[in-house]
Structure 1
């Protein structure tokens, strides 16, 4: 079966996305300080108590794209089931045509509200698009199928989410041979500094493909701190190899569902040609639409490596030049806007070919 999923259209005569990004700052200080003033002195970056009165402000839908993650999905879903959030939230798993027991695990776990099985492998971008349309919450928390989050994260997101913010979490990678033997991983505390957006030590004298620069000496980089929680990355600024769109990583990120629908979701072409960059492009589109990218330092999850992590990583890196080229091409086009109706129609058509449970 060959299924086509439409991509976003672009408005003729509008500014290229690359130029549009230069017009938008990222000074979110008023947002974070305003929230703290209402939260009786509770810090923006502190884990949120389950009884925080701000917590029920927005309903959260967790969307998990899943492909061959049977080795870790039970732990990921158990962590969601252990959230101390006192209000209803939704979990949608979209199985990207897995051949292992991914769908079996999702279908039988009590925390999963909806399971969708794609008819063929279509990539994480399409899986997230389907999950976004199926979701009913005002805020969508995109969570990778190998990410285990601490019990306060859903409340952190629900209490802080707005129509104009992209809330960015972080990840602590754990090798398969470590987490496979660690039955108590739900009780461990992930380390913020394990994320490259927090502590970054790039190799010298090697071309960095995203920015095209080469660093002559070793660098002990601190992207999060040195950019004042990404504030200094507004107006198209960069920190060596990092810019604001690249900080939007869908391993753990919360966005307003309406804004994702408006820009037409993730560009599915990324999933067809390789790995990566679909979240960077979505981030660029949301920034161009006026949203602020705000980190949540306390929202750090464990990323659980698969048994063949080294092999998978090499495959991903081999395809990155193609997805990077796609991203650079899209930067020269205008950002998609007003795509909600067409996007929902396209995903609804795809859903007619999917298995949906319940």
Structure 2
């Protein structure tokens, strides 16, 4: 952070201003499944970014049954659109997008993340070959969406659980298994000095450093992702969650630094059936967490770019290029 500020004169956590981009060109990779309720707004926001250096947008439609593919096929913000013929999960979709990307930095963005106009430039200016750049999300309930967006309200940093966290009392926490006996107004980001106090096995209650790598909004060097073998696609088969945590763990083991961008906050647009989707995700959590724990017992992967390319090529018959 200090080196960037000394070189540019700009604060690390300040939003980028409009103007020519001086950073790295990005490939924005968006996995999408049945997000017709929000995808057009998400792509409109990408089209309105202040970044002037140019960035590509790759949408990978994971066998949607709604208008997701139709929206992406005609939207001017989309550079490439690939559709997976059979549902494969977000990990596989992100791997396909990563294989197609041409930029040295990948920005993983969820298809329900609405980004303020400066966010692409924020990542572009700060991207480096040794950094995992972490953005944040402010959940916006479906019923509140229209009023909030019409009012021009901006997402706030404390809307993310990694920033302000109020865990349940008397129940086992999802990740660590800890049981708290009194209320906690947790501040993971602040209390760990922007994640500096994590890593090397250190934790903040239910949080560790890999869990801070959330692919709702995450910037990573493409070469590093290929070198560690990309996302483990098995997570998408068995349920929700942990594929991004596992990628974070692999990149940390490879020596990359996990650094937050406090100004990079987007609205996470909840679907109409958010409660039902959340229950389904929680039901799958024990399976994905178990796989994650077992993968951590294996040697840290490295030198897997050739293996990843072969894997991506094997996926081609399962995909159709729509744009």
TM-score tier by shorter-chain length is over 0.9
Distance 2:26 2:130 in 1: 15
Is 1:61 matched up with 2:27?
yes
Q: Which runs of 5+ in 1 are unaligned?
A: 1-31
In the other structure, the counterpart of 1:212 is 177
In the other structure, the counterpart of 2:74 is 108
The alpha carbon displacement at 1:349 in A equals 2.1
Is 1:82 matched up with 2:51?
no
Is 1:193 matched up with 2:158?
yes
Distance 2:146 2:85 in 1: 30
In the other structure, the counterpart of 1:224 is 189
Which residues of 2 match residues 259-270 of structure 1 at below 5 A? 259-270=224-235
In the other structure, the counterpart of 2:210 is 245
Which residues of 2 match residues 76-225 of structure 1 at below 5 A? 76-180=42-146, 184=150, 187-225=152-190
What's the secondary structure of 1:214's corresponding residue? coil
Is 1:257 matched up with 2:222?
yes
Change (3 A) 1:183 1:46: closer
Is 1:235 matched up with 2:200?
yes
Distance 1:283 1:219 in 2: 26
Distance 2:290 2:82 in 1: 31
Distance 1:308 1:249 in 2: 22
What's the secondary structure of 1:71's corresponding residue? coil
Is 1:46 matched up with 2:11?
no
Distance 1:139 1:170 in 2: 18
Aligned length: 323
Is 1:35 matched up with 2:4?
yes
Distance 2:39 2:106 in 1: 19
The alpha carbon displacement at 1:182 in A equals 5.0
Distance 2:23 2:315 in 1: 32
The alpha carbon displacement at 1:184 in A equals 2.7
In the other structure, the counterpart of 1:14 is none
Q: Which runs of 5+ in 2 are unaligned?
A: none
Q: Which has the higher contact order (CA 8 A, sep 6+)?
A: 1
- Structure 1 runs of 4+ aligned residues shifted over 6 Å read none
What's the secondary structure of 1:243's corresponding residue? coil
In the other structure, the counterpart of 1:342 is 307
Q: Is the 8 A contact 2:63 2:84 kept in 1?
A: yes
What's the secondary structure of 2:138's corresponding residue? strand
Change (3 A) 1:45 1:312: same
The alpha carbon displacement at 1:87 in A equals 1.1
Alpha-carbon displacement from aligned partner over 1:299-343 (angstroms, at most 9, x marks no partner): 000000000000000000010000000000001111211110111
The alpha carbon displacement at 1:243 in A equals 0.2
Distance 1:343 1:228 in 2: 35
In the other structure, the counterpart of 1:310 is 275
In the other structure, the counterpart of 2:295 is 330
- Provide TM-score, normalisation by structure 2: 0.98
Distance 2:66 2:278 in 1: 20
